[in-house]
Amino acid sequence: MSSTVTLSQDIASSSPGINLKWVYSNLTTIKEISLIYFKNGAGAVIAYADVPSGLLKYNLSPSAFQSGQSYSFQLQVTDINGVVAYSNTLPLTAPFVLSAPDISGITGFDSALLIQLAPTTNQISASDTSVEFVLIRQDNTCFWIVKPYAPSGAYSLTSSDSASLVNNTTYRVACQFQPLPNNTRYSSPSPLSPTVDGTPSNTPNAPTGLVTASIGTTNLDLAFSWTRPSDFSEWSANGFQIHLRLTDQYGQVSGQVTLSSDVTNYVWYDLSRGAEYRAYIYYSNSFGDGPEVTSGYQHFRSVPDAPIFVSAVDDDQSTVLSWVAPAYDGQDPITNYKVYRGGLLIATLSNSTYSYTATGLTNGNTYSFAIVAVNAIGMSIASESLQSAPFGQMAIVSAVSSGKTITVVLSPNGRPIQNVVMVAWDSDPNDITDGEFVAVIPQQQIPQLANQNVTVIKTFSGFSSAVENFVVIAHNDTNSTFYKSV
């Protein structure tokens, strides 16, 4: 009769891995047992195990197989007579075994550790598997934190999970996959991952209550204030920095500064016109940088530039002033204009008024005028001042003759008299012996008063008799006046 070996699975064994058993027929004392096995599929590698000759059962460790893969097994049995028998080929599926997690990263945060696990080939889900983290503190306190399996591999362990997790303490951390009771594929936990170190780091929280305000009047200044991070008292004694930066509406950095003192406000001075700015802030300490927060864009306002004073046109006891709006209104609408005479306010006008007539002036006096533009922020500097000297119609107050002399009293009315022309004749105007009968009195012989009466006297000494009739003509740079005796 032929010798046989029947190979089967030992389902009664509780040993992990692959459990085999066999029976012989028509063989004497067994001399040698060889076991071969291989993974089913292309490119299989044949493995070999030398089984002690007296055994009828054999266990192969789970580490010899890929979890859940199909393998084939066969025995070669030789007895002491040299009879060789081969068993049947037995296909079996390797047990599903959880491979150990691999911690690819660990980062400390405020009262928390963020742990990243590398991707796993285990066929698990949040509904059938948990991840158990074991943590050992520096004082050898050991505690566990259990989390549902996360396909992303990201796990956050916080002080809410365990009060033993505190800031600024280094922990030794490892973890394992643990199948839940409803897991039909895996029955045992995985080995522990390699151990790594992690420190919950008390990096600053974000500052709050950010407020920006345009505080400049003549300059564009930005005041920035904030409230300290809520955890400031936990780490501030060991040093910190406050990082500020300022960008315009195009994202260009307009300024940045790092502060090392405990302040909650800062001012950026002399910013550019026509731009909008936003401020950024974050705190840092020895554990790292806190989150950066930002304000909204700030629209800057200041007082306007000075108006442009165009002209001051003199008239009789008045002056007409004209100006144009400033090129820059401070990014806030102009509300009114103020007119000053000699430094004193004499009028406040609407923002659409660009001229003003100053009245009640004294002809011949000199006045200085300036214009100021006003918006909600305040008043501009004064415009360049313009001088005014109002004037009226020059007049001859009186003109009389006495003998050969004519006396004329004139009112300049705001402008000095430049010359006076007198034409006179006696009772015999054809008498050539009378000599000169036209007299021009030059400016240097006339008192140069602008707002007081001026007296001009001329004697026609060449006349043979008294002046009988005369004409007086007076001039200044703005007008003339005329007087005739008859």
- The CATH code of domain 395-484 reads 2.60.40
Give the model's confidence band at 70: pLDDT under 50 very low, under 70 low, under 90 confident, else very high.
very high
What pLDDT, on the 0 to 100 scale, is given for residue 136?
97
CATH 2.60.40.10 corresponds to the domain 103-198: yes
316: pLDDT strictly greater than 90: yes
CATH topology of domain 4-93: Immunoglobulin-like (2.60.40)
Sign of the CA dihedral running 332, 333, 335, 338: positive
Give the model's confidence band at 226: pLDDT under 50 very low, under 70 low, under 90 confident, else very high.
very high
What pLDDT, on the 0 to 100 scale, is given for residue 429?
64
432: pLDDT strictly greater than 70: no
Q: How far apart are CA 447 and CA 453, in angstroms?
A: 9
Query: When comparing pLDDT for 275 and 413, which is higher?
Result: 413
What pLDDT, on the 0 to 100 scale, is given for residue 88?
96
Give the model's confidence band at 8: pLDDT under 50 very low, under 70 low, under 90 confident, else very high.
very high
Q: How far apart are CA 486 and CA 356, in angstroms?
A: 44
Sequence-distant (6+) residues with CB within 8 A of 443 are 416, 417, 418, 419
Q: At which residue do the structure tokens 């025995």 appear? A: 75
Give the number of other Cβ atoms within 10 Å of residue 182's Cβ: 8
| Dihedral pair phi/psi, residue 234, rounded to 5° | -75, -30
- What percentage of the chain reaches a pLDDT higher than 90? 71
* pTM exceeds 0.75: no
Q: How far apart are CA 130 and CA 178, in angstroms?
A: 5
235: pLDDT strictly greater than 90: no
The CATH 2.60.40.10 domain(s) of the chain lie at: 4-93, 103-198, 208-299, 308-388
- DSSP letter, residue 234: H
- Our CA angle for 220, 222, 226, nearest 5°, is 175
**Do 351 and 332 contact (CB within 8 A), yes or no?**
no
pLDDT (tens digit per residue) in 29-67:
999 999 999 999 988 899 999 999 999 999 999 889 988
3-state helix, strand, coil in the chain (%, to 5): 5, 50, 50
What is the SS3 assignment for 383?
Answer: coil
396: pLDDT strictly greater than 70: yes
Domain 308-388, architecture per CATH: Sandwich (2.60)
DSSP states along 140-189 = --EEEEEEE--TT-EEEEETTT-TT--TT--EEEEEEEEE-TT-SS--SP
Count Cβ atoms within 10 A of the Cβ of residue 226 and give its class: 0-12 exposed, 13-18 middle, 19 or more buried: buried
Give the number of other Cβ atoms within 10 Å of residue 322's Cβ: 15
Residue from 458, 415, 413, 421 nearest 440 by CA: 421
Residue from 471, 430, 476 nearest 449 by CA: 476
**Do 292 and 281 contact (CB within 8 A), yes or no?**
yes
Q: How far apart are CA 107 and CA 171, in angstroms?
A: 12
Q: How far apart are CA 223 and CA 213, in angstroms?
A: 5
Mean pLDDT (the chain) is 92
CATH class of 208-299: mainly beta
Sequence-distant (6+) residues with CB within 8 A of 105 are 114, 115, 116
Distances (CA, A) of 106 to 102, 115, 194, 207, 211: 11, 5, 12, 26, 36
Distances (CA, A) of 139 to 12, 111, 143, 162, 197: 46, 18, 12, 16, 14
What pLDDT, on the 0 to 100 scale, is given for residue 353?
96
For residues 304-332, give the mean pLDDT: 93
Give the number of other Cβ atoms within 10 Å of residue 254's Cβ: 17
What pLDDT, on the 0 to 100 scale, is given for residue 187?
87
**Among 72-81, 286-295, 345-354, where is mean pLDDT lowest?**
286-295
What pLDDT, on the 0 to 100 scale, is given for residue 276?
86
Q: At which residue do the structure tokens 């742990």 appear? A: 115
**Do 71 and 40 contact (CB within 8 A), yes or no?**
yes
**Do 154 and 147 contact (CB within 8 A), yes or no?**
no
**Do 248 and 254 contact (CB within 8 A), yes or no?**
yes
